[in-house]
């Protein structure tokens, strides 16, 4: 028998007691294994049912199970039944052959017969015949396991045809003609390059007209994700958002836009000529963006917001035709979408949910009714709004970068496919990357029942384990008047009549009961005040680690640890944080998470505490920072650095300034497209912040993180001492003082520590 190898080859798992050469059954089993391997199928042997169960849970490369019903009585047939039922909970298609002696056939339980696909009665049939049946079953399984587009791509790439079409590397051959090219070829491999094809390959269909296997893949994805229609997009959800907006709204039509929007929404407004009316979300003391409150989404509030929008005047129809909402927020806050539909559906016929970071939600009951494609598509009719969802398949599902999907459910005032596809073709490349499309296909296959719920549950379980470990450590150290990090989450969970500390709550309850994660009214931990109960829920897999320094009242404590220092420390340890704000670090527990991965993070947090408490020299814990800024940080320790940055944050009031700035809706003087037209004509000038008072932004001003617009193109920056410029000046002053910790603000050019922005003349 061969060693267990993680390959794309055929792999079967044999679960059997060691075959006894002295018996007819044993000799027949040995011969069967030999014949199976001669046919190119690697056989991995397991002599323990518990070991086999572990293999089947962790290795999806197993493409066939050969289970001997003649296992030793020490484990018993009950364990065989458990193995089979466990397998079928995770995989309903993998072929299972039951190996038995004819004399025991009558005693095999019904549940075993129901979960097996075929039977091998040794030694009645020849091993050559039986091995052929096993090979055929594996090949059928492999064919069925591959989704439509990816399956067709694999088949075509293996045909070894000469390429007379683009791309010019001709399946990778061109790369072999130079040293750099050969290195590129060897790094990425032949399969990737042979599957990098042209739209000229007719048998694979076309992304632009959604034909052939590509179209089949999109229809398959629509079924899996609960949509009426799905479109593969090969340039990320930024393009997906633009496609939808440009298909739905045009010049001088009103669109409702979540102010907590991605930059692509701004670009879509610019391209379409739409007039945005912004829906302003809440923020808490940490600067975490909360939901748009229900009262803001009511018909009366929407009508009032449109009436107060200075862009909507004269003969412009004030009726909104489109609304875009971010779900979930960057920090993991998810709406009750049925409630949002009920509220916004009174004002607009088309709802668009930017779910770039939330493509997994449909596949776990914890998120029921909290995602755009909730419920059954057949229950969504013209009495309800038409709903769009954009999902960055690559972010928290398994796909290549830039992989995205658009999901559509037709309702009121739908956009039929032919019209929608005009916008799609406007933004799609005529040379899309086939590997990206195939990864969308594979991501759909991975989420198809039952594996979608299994994979998402594993992510949730790992996130809960991490959260409870951090919570327990925080409480243990707090009981000794010592400090540690904690997570942004409810400190207690109501279990019956008792409020149970988070780390003591049964993990099964946390992973199955949404109410454990719901933001209840006036709870201090979330800080969003009297929010409607059940309206918003924290997604457990988006974990915000809190560093000390912020009080429950929104005021800074006497001492604290800026999250940027911890983020720099972790980066030196090889841990890259998704997002860092003043006192929060965001970690994403995607389906690629492992215990080893988050266990290393816990150890690194403990290492930081040790080094901070001992004020370890920067040359030992942040050597890159010290080398790049020797004169600024020479002689400092880790605690010295944290204390100095914390003092500057207090002085400049960066956290409070951010809350005030983003809580202010600037006055719009020009629409985004009008401002852009002036930019193209060069009717602009670059000015320092001291000269920006009262000026109109020519481009969006978007501080990262979290990448939410502070100023949109065409909006007034306000007075010199107003909240918008005050916040930018606070960032500017901070950046001058702390090289290596400067902020990234799109739309701002920093020259010699001086912030400059483009304004209209």
Residue showing tokens 């890259």: 576
Residues 6+ apart with CB under 8 A from 568: 622, 625, 740, 741
Candidate ranges 12-16, 32-36, 608-612; pick with highest mean pLDDT? 608-612
In the chain, residues under CATH classification 3.40.50.2300 are 10-145
For the full predicted model, state whether its pTM sits above 0.95: no
What was the pLDDT predicted at 154?
85
Asked whether the predicted pLDDT for residue 9 surpasses 80, the reply is no
* 599-643 confidence digits (pLDDT tens): 999 999 999 999 999 999 999 999 999 999 999 999 999 999 999
Of 75 and 466, the structure prediction assigns the larger pLDDT to: 466
How do beta strands 386-391 and 404-409 pair? antiparallel
Asked whether the predicted pLDDT for residue 1 surpasses 90, the reply is no
Cα-Cα end-to-end distance for the chain: 77
Range with lowest mean pLDDT among 114-123, 292-301, 657-666, 691-700:
114-123
Asked whether the predicted pLDDT for residue 483 surpasses 70, the reply is yes
Contact, 333 vs 358, CB < 8 A?
no
Statement: 10-145 belongs to CATH 3.40.50.2300: yes
Asked whether the predicted pLDDT for residue 72 surpasses 60, the reply is no
* 308-347 confidence digits (pLDDT tens): 999 999 999 999 999 999 999 989 999 999 999 999 999 9
What was the pLDDT predicted at 3?
38
The chain-wide mean pLDDT, for the chain, equals: 92
Q: Can you tell me the distance from the alpha carbon of 405 to that of 590, in angstroms, rounded to the nearest whole number?
A: 18
Contact, 471 vs 487, CB < 8 A?
yes
How do beta strands 492-495 and 498-501 pair? antiparallel
Range with lowest mean pLDDT among 162-171, 309-318, 684-693:
162-171
Q: Could you tell me which of 305, 288, 740, 715 has the C-alpha nearest to residue 544?
A: 288
Asked whether the predicted pLDDT for residue 48 surpasses 90, the reply is no
What was the pLDDT predicted at 249?
97
CATH class given for the domain over 453-651: alpha beta
Q: Can you tell me the distance from the alpha carbon of 176 to that of 183, in angstroms, rounded to the nearest whole number?
A: 8
Contact, 321 vs 255, CB < 8 A?
yes
CATH class given for the domain over 654-760: alpha beta
Asked whether the predicted pLDDT for residue 527 surpasses 60, the reply is yes
What was the pLDDT predicted at 8?
54
Per the rule left: phi > 0, alpha: psi between -120 and 50, beta: everything else, 554 is left
3-state secondary structure of 450: coil
What tokens appear for 41 in the block? 């199928």
What was the pLDDT predicted at 6?
36
Average pLDDT over residues 61-77: 76
DSSP H helical segments within 273-336, as ranges?
294-297, 299-307
Average pLDDT over residues 40-63: 89
Q: Can you tell me the distance from the alpha carbon of 725 to that of 693, in angstroms, rounded to the nearest whole number?
A: 8
In the chain, residues under CATH classification 3.40.640.10 are 235-428
Confidence band for 7, pLDDT divided at 50, 70 and 90 = very low
Contact, 561 vs 543, CB < 8 A?
no
What was the pLDDT predicted at 161?
62
Contact, 212 vs 203, CB < 8 A?
yes
Asked whether the predicted pLDDT for residue 2 surpasses 80, the reply is no
What was the pLDDT predicted at 122?
80
What was the pLDDT predicted at 664?
87
Calculate what percentage of the chain has a pLDDT beyond 90.
Answer: 74
Asked whether the predicted pLDDT for residue 400 surpasses 90, the reply is yes
In the chain, residues under CATH classification 3.90.1150.10 are 453-651
Contact, 447 vs 453, CB < 8 A?
no
Q: Which CATH architecture has domain 235-428?
A: 3-Layer(aba) Sandwich (3.40)
Contact, 199 vs 430, CB < 8 A?
yes
What was the pLDDT predicted at 173?
87
């Amino acid at each position: 028998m061969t060693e267990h190898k993680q390959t794309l080859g055929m792999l079967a798992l044999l679960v059997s007691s060691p075959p006894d050469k002295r018996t007819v059954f044993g000799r027949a089993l040995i011969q069967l294994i030999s014949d199976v391997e001669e046919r190119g199928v690697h056989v991995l042997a397991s002599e323990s049912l518990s070991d086999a169960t572990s293999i089947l849970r962790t290795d999806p490369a197993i493409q066939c199970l050969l289970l001997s019903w003649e296992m030793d009585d020490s484990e018993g047939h009950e364990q065989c039944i458990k193995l089979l039922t466990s397998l079928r909970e995770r995989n309903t298609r993998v072929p299972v052959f039951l190996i038995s002696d004819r004399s025991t056939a009558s005693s095999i339980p019904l549940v075993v017969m129901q979960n097996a696909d075929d039977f091998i009665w040794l030694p009645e049939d020849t091993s050559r015949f039986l091995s052929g049946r096993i090979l055929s079953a594996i090949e059928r399984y492999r064919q069925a396991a591959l989704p439509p587009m990816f399956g067709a791509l694999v088949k075509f790439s293996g045909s070894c045809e000469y390429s007379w079409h683009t791309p010019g590397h001709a399946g990778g051959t061109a790369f072999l003609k130079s040293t750099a090219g050969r290195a590129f070829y060897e790094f990425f491999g032949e399969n990737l390059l042979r599957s990098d094809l042209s739209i000229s390959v007719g048998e694979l269909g076309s992304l632009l007209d959604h034909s052939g296997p590509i179209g089949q893949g999109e229809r398959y994805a629509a079924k899996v994700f609960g949509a009426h229609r799905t479109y593969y997009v090969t340039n990320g959800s930024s393009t997906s958002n633009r496609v939808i907006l440009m298909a739905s709204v045009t010049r001088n039509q009103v669109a409702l836009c979540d102010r907590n929007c991605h930059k692509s929404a701004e670009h879509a407004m610019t391209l379409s000529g739409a007039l945005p009316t912004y829906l302003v979300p809440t923020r808490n003391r940490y600067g975490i963006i909360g939901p748009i409150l229900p009262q803001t989404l009511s018909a009366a509030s929407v009508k009032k917001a449109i009436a107060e929008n200075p862009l909507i005047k004269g003969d412009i129809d004030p009726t909104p035709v489109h609304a875009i909402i971010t779900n979930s927020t960057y920090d993991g806050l998810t709406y009750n979408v049925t409630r949002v539909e009920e509220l916004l559906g009174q004002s607009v016929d088309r709802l668009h949910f930017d779910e770039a970071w939330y493509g997994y939600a449909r596949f776990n009951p914890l998120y029921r009714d909290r995602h755009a494609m909730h419920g059954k598509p057949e229950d969504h009719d013209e009495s309800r709004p038409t709903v769009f969802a954009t999902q960055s398949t690559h972010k928290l599902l398994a796909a290549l970068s830039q992989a995205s999907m658009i999901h559509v459910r037709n309702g009121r005032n739908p956009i039929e496919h032919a019209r929608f596809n005009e916008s799609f073709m406007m933004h799609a490349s005529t040379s899309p990357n086939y590997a990206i499309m195939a990864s969308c296909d594979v991501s759909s296959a991975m989420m198809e029942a039952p594996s979608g719920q299994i994979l998402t549950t594993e992510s949730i379980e790992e996130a809960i384990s991490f959260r409870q470990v951090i919570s327990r450590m925080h409480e243990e150290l707090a009981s000794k008047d010592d400090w540690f990090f904690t997570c942004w989450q409810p400190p207690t969970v109501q279990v019956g009549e008792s409020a149970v500390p988070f780390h003591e709550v049964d993990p099964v309850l946390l992973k199955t009961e949404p109410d454990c994660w719901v933001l209840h009214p006036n709870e201090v931990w979330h800080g969003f005040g009297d929010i409607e109960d059940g309206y918003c829920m924290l997604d457990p897999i988006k974990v915000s680690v809190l560093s000390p320094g912020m009080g429950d009242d929104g005021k800074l404590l006497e001492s604290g640890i800026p999250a940027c220092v911890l983020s720099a420390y972790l980066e030196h340890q090889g841990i890259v944080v998704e997002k860092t704000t003043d006192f929060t670090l965001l970690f994403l527990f995607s389906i690629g998470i492992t215990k080893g991965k988050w266990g290393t993070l816990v150890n690194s947090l403990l290492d930081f505490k040790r080094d901070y408490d001992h004020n370890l020299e920067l040359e030992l814990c942040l050597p890159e920072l010290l080398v790049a800024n020797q004169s600024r940080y020479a002689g400092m320790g880790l605690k010295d650095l944290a204390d100095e940055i914390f003092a500057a944050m207090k002085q400049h009031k960066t956290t409070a300034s951010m809350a005030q700035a983003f809580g202010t809706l600037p006055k719009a003087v020009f629409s985004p497209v009008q401002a852009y037209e002036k930019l193209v004509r060069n009717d602009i000038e670059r000015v320092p912040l001291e000269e920006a008072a009262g000026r109109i932004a020519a481009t969006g001003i978007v501080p990262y993180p979290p990448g939410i617009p502070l100023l949109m193109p065409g909006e007034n920056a306000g007075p010199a001492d107003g909240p918008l410029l005050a916040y930018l000046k606070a960032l500017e002053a901070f950046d001058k003082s702390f090289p290596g910790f400067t902020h990234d603000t799109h739309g701002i050019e920093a020259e010699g520590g001086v912030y400059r922005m483009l304004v209209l003349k």
